[in-house]
Amino acid sequence: MKEPFILFMVAGTTYALRSTEVAHVEMVEQVTAVPNAADFVDGVVFSRGQVVPALNLRARFGFERAPYGLATRLLVANAGGRSVGLIVDEAREFVPIDTASIQPPASALTGLSGRYLEGVANIGGRLVLVLNLTEVLTFTDPALEAHT
Amino acid sequence: MADDANILGNFMDDYFVECEEHLAAIRAQLLELERGVGAGTVRPAVLQDLFRSFHSIKGISGMVELREAEMLAHQMESYLRALRQREVTVSQRGVDALVAGVAALERTIAARRDGQPAPPVDQVLHDIAATTPEAGAAQGPDVEARSMDVAPSWRVTFAPSAELIARGVTVDVVRARLRERGRIVDAAPKVMPHGIVFEFLFAGDLEPDVVEAWRADGALAERVAVSPSSAAAESAESDAAESADAASRLGATHVVRVDLARLDELMRMIGDLVISRARLAAALARVERRVPPVEWREVQENSQTIERQLRDLREGVMRVRMVPVREIFRRMPFVVRDLARETGKKVRLELRGQETEIDKYLIERMMDPMLHLVRNAVSHGFESTAERLAAGKPEEGTLVLSSSSVGEAVLLEIADDGRGIDPDAVAARARAMGVPVPEGTLTSRAVLDVICAPGFSTRDETDRASGRGVGMAVVKATVEELNGTISLDTTPGEGTRFVIELPLTLSITDALIAHVGERTFAVPQAQVREVIEVDPTTVRRVEQHEIAPLRGGSLPIVRLARAFGIEARPRRALHVFVVGNGADAVGIAVDRIAGQREIVVRRMADDLIKVAGVAGATDLGDGRVVLILDLLALARYGQSAGTAEGSTKAGSAR
């Protein structure tokens, strides 16, 4: 069965999220920093009248942060009753992916972002990492636990 | 003197509110009257209600000496009296004259409220008079007592009771006694919660001992202050109208009008209570180890009960702010009627769920956006009558305004069965105006985004209906500012539906705006006991604390820049929010306090952004998130900063 996914780039790698999990995609405007929040939280933004956290996926996946550019996008994703913004380098494509073709991540691929992966899909020779959104939003950073 | 001015001010406020209520009733009845004209039958109750409303406006306008309003109301009242007593059919011309008269009345009252001179009303008065055959000549052929030229000097109320009747004192006896001493100008039974009361307006002399004697018989006489023009005049009314009046007064006795500012004051006092409770809790925590556990628990439980009750109290006050959506809806029939007539369309307006309650502030903010959506629907949403017939639709378009509450939200829906919005036309128009548009056929959501884009307008600016007031961009901005959402569902040929979802209540509070480095924060005023300025060179370090001198004593200071890790340049003066009293007082230092304003508190619900010292977020109007500080949490951070476990950042307090 084919499902629509939205593809986006973080630090040169292509990731995918089910488009049903993404409420909308926005330009990144003013992000207000939240003091003492987890280091991968850039801050908060208003999205359709709601205050949502803006997660920097580069930071979440352990890459170096990059300044926001014209291509930078905020994906507002819904999971488990939460609305959370994901800051990505760019987000341009919707593609249908046959969910049966999503393979569990190979052990070689379970790098820094490995624990957030649902699997890997091959779209016309291009490798796409399918994200497990719930895992991305789960709050288990050792750095943060030190705070709590 | 100042008190006099104040009383007059309050009185004028009441006057405007009361006028608005009567005018709202008049607007509704005029529509009904006009429908009656079309159908050839007018319900007498409509005329009665209109008459009563004009009569009331005339009376109260006389009291505040707003002569133009009084004359207008009088002229329209005369016309209605003529209609009622002669049983003539109402003409369209007559209705138009009334509509023009009401508009003039509204302008006149608004001008007084704004301190402007009254607009000219002569022409309007003339037009209404022209519809009234022998204006003023139509006095009721009523009882002798209902004389027009005698001013009542006493109001005598008599409440019959079994006991009085047993003593032979009935209403007839009271009436006979009055007739002996003067003239009964008016008499009417009134339905009161505890039974019927007869009220007589009486002209004549009553000596004090007579008044005393009657009081013993259950008839209370009190002097009536006579205003020169409202005098006895309008007594030629049937008892039916009067008892309806009594009924409306009865309704009024169950409702209290409250100034929003007074509710805000209540909220502020509750805020004070919350702070006191927090102090109590902090004190309790300090003595925990020194008090036997059983006793400590009892005090602790009491403290928690107070906290819960405070929350209930707060919610109770918030509930008082709730008003029925009817306040928005009742203006709509008028707007639709005028616009339908202007555009030559036939539109039926259906109102549903008018009883749904919503915060008064939301109602006020939503009035203009709702008017815009309704005007848009009538002007652009509906096809012309000819187009509708050609499309096989009923000649008359249906516009449904409905409201309902769903959980913690209120839905407002504006649905028409008009032509719908053509996504391709919207896309083409947007491109022509330089508004960015996604490729392909637009979904309803994309259509909404485009029509709400600043710079997009559906018609030429010369279009009367869309040219005034707010555009869709403002509608959307307002809804989002109120923490709500707007959605669109449209099908070409079938119609358009806007759904606005708003939170049931809003936390609105007064806040002080503070700056630290490049950052801006809002501080709920209720948490602030005092604001002081501190010279940084006087601040001393004592172990982990910073202490500023304050009125001979000292005040521990928490620098927000430090607590939040914000880069801030040294300044010549620090502004400090003081929370707590006496030995518990703590100062939260910022660079600059920039003013005060009312803010809408939005929750920061997600765990990722719940941090100590931040209570929520707000928008100061530029779309940026501004964090609302929790000074009490910051003060706790300051107090614990010296202890071993307090050496981490403020995040530890969570």
CB contact under 8 A, B612 and A36: yes
Strand-pairing partners, residue B498, are: B414, B488
Least confidently predicted of A125-139, B141-155, B500-514, B575-589: B141-155
Strand (E) positions, A21-142?
Answer: 22-27, 41-47, 50-56, 73-79, 82-88, 90-98, 117-123, 126-131
In angstroms, how far is CA B641 from the centroid of its own chain? 46
Least confidently predicted of B47-51, B594-598, B641-645: B641-645
Confidence band of B595 (pLDDT split at 50, 70, 90): confident
The C-alpha of A57 sits at a distance from chain B's nearest C-alpha, in angstroms, of 14
d(CA B556, CA B588): 9
* CATH architecture of the domain covering B151-247: 2-Layer Sandwich (3.30)
d(CA B574, CA B620): 23
Tell me how long chain B is. Answer: 654
pLDDT at B234: 40
Is residue B378 within 8 A of residue B339, CB to CB? The reply is yes
The reply to whether A48 touches chain B by the CB within 8 Å rule is yes
Is residue B492 within 8 A of residue B419, CB to CB? The reply is yes
CATH 1.20.120.160 corresponds to the domain B2-129: yes
Strand-pairing partners, residue A5, are: A18, A95
d(CA A70, CA A72): 6
Segment A109-130 mean pLDDT: 79
Least confidently predicted of B24-28, B103-107, B168-172, B294-298: B168-172
CB contact under 8 A, B484 and A51: no
Segment B391-411 mean pLDDT: 87
CB contact under 8 A, B625 and A35: no
The C-alpha of B266 sits at a distance from chain A's nearest C-alpha, in angstroms, of 28
d(CA B49, CA B69): 18
Tell me the three state secondary structure of residue B589: strand
> What's the mean per-residue pLDDT of chain B?
78
| B237 compared with A133, residue with greater pLDDT | A133
pLDDT at B138: 36
Contacts of B179 (CB under 8 A, 6+ apart): B145
B297 to B292, B310, B311: CA distances (angstroms): 9, 20, 21
Which chain A residues touch B648 with a CB distance below 8 Å? 147
Structure tokens at B191: 């339905």
pLDDT at B133: 63
Q: Which of A30, A41, A48 sits opposite B624 (nearest CB)?
A: A30
- Find tokens 């919660």 and name the residue: B193
Residue B160 has pLDDT above 90, yes or no: no
Residue A40 has pLDDT above 60, yes or no: yes
| B237 compared with B104, residue with greater pLDDT | B104
For A145, left (φ over 0), alpha (ψ -120 to 50), or beta? alpha
For B612, left (φ over 0), alpha (ψ -120 to 50), or beta? beta
Q: Which of A33, A51, A139 sits opposite B604 (nearest CB)?
A: A51
The predicted-structure confidence for B554-576, as pLDDT tens digits, reads as follows 899 999 998 998 988 888 888 99
Interface test with B, best of A34, A55, A84 (most B CBs within 10 A): A34
pLDDT at B143: 34
The C-alpha of B391 sits at a distance from chain A's nearest C-alpha, in angstroms, of 37
The C-alpha of B361 sits at a distance from chain A's nearest C-alpha, in angstroms, of 17
Rounded to 5 degrees, φ, ψ at B455 are 95, -10
CB contact under 8 A, A51 and B602: yes
Confidence band of B505 (pLDDT split at 50, 70, 90): low
Helix axes B332-343, B2-39, angle to 10 degrees: 50
Confidence band of A92 (pLDDT split at 50, 70, 90): confident
The C-alpha of B485 sits at a distance from chain A's nearest C-alpha, in angstroms, of 7
Q: Which of A29, A53, A148 sits opposite B609 (nearest CB)?
A: A53
The predicted-structure confidence for B31-61, as pLDDT tens digits, reads as follows 888 887 777 777 778 888 888 889 888 888 8
| A83 compared with B242, residue with greater pLDDT | A83
Strand-pairing partners, residue A93, are: A7
Structure tokens at B116: 């402007």
Q: CA B238, B244, B245 angle in degrees (round to 5)?
A: 90
Q: Which of B519, B609, B619 sits opposite A46 (nearest CB)?
A: B619
pLDDT at A76: 93
Structure tokens at B72: 């207008």
Q: CA B411, B417, B421 angle in degrees (round to 5)?
A: 85
CB burial of residue B284 (10 Å; 0-12, 13-18, 19+): middle
Structure tokens at B587: 């100062």
pLDDT at B511: 84
Segment A3-30 mean pLDDT: 90
Tell me the three state secondary structure of residue B12: helix
Share of chain A above pLDDT 90, in %: 40
Which chain A residues touch B480 with a CB distance below 8 Å? 46, 48-49
Which chain B residues touch A57 with a CB distance below 8 Å? none
pTM strictly above 0.80: no
Chain B residues 463-482 with CB within 8 Å of chain A: 479-482
The predicted-structure confidence for B180-191, as pLDDT tens digits, reads as follows 887 777 776 665
Residue B228 has pLDDT above 50, yes or no: no
Which chain A residues touch B602 with a CB distance below 8 Å? 50-51
Q: Which of B254, B417, B450 is nearest to B349 (CA)?
A: B417
Strand-pairing partners, residue A97, are: A3
What is the topology classification, in CATH, of domain B325-503?
Heat Shock Protein 90 (3.30.565)
Instruction: Pinpoint the alpha helices (H) of B88-157.
Output: 92-113, 122-131
Is residue A48 within 8 A of residue B480, CB to CB? The reply is yes
Q: Which of B479, B481, B611 sits opposite A34 (nearest CB)?
A: B611
pLDDT at B6: 56
Which chain B residues touch A35 with a CB distance below 8 Å? 563-566, 611, 613-614, 650
pLDDT at B526: 74
Q: Which of A38, A48, A148 sits opposite B480 (nearest CB)?
A: A48
The C-alpha of A110 sits at a distance from chain B's nearest C-alpha, in angstroms, of 25
- Find tokens 């809790």 and name the residue: B281
The predicted-structure confidence for B361-400, as pLDDT tens digits, reads as follows 888 889 889 999 999 899 889 999 999 999 999 999 999 9
Confidence band of B146 (pLDDT split at 50, 70, 90): very low
Is residue B527 within 8 A of residue B579, CB to CB? The reply is yes
Residue B497 has pLDDT above 90, yes or no: yes
Is residue B411 within 8 A of residue B446, CB to CB? The reply is no
The reply to whether A148 touches chain B by the CB within 8 Å rule is yes
* Count of Cβ atoms closer than 10 Å to residue A62 Cβ: 11
Q: Annotate B298-360 with DSSP letters as a single string.
A: HHHHHHHHHHHHHHHHHHHHHHHTEEETHHHHTTHHHHHHHHHHHHT--EEEEEE-TT-EEEH
Question: Which segment, A99-113, B98-112, B495-509, is predicted with the most confidence on average?
Answer: B98-112
d(CA B39, CA B62): 36
Rounded to 5 degrees, φ, ψ at B616 are 170, -160
Q: Which of B114, B94, B125, B109 is nearest to B24 (CA)?
A: B109
Segment B463-486 mean pLDDT: 68
| B383 compared with B65, residue with greater pLDDT | B383
CATH 1.20.120.80 corresponds to the domain B508-641: no
Confidence band of B278 (pLDDT split at 50, 70, 90): low
pLDDT at B225: 60
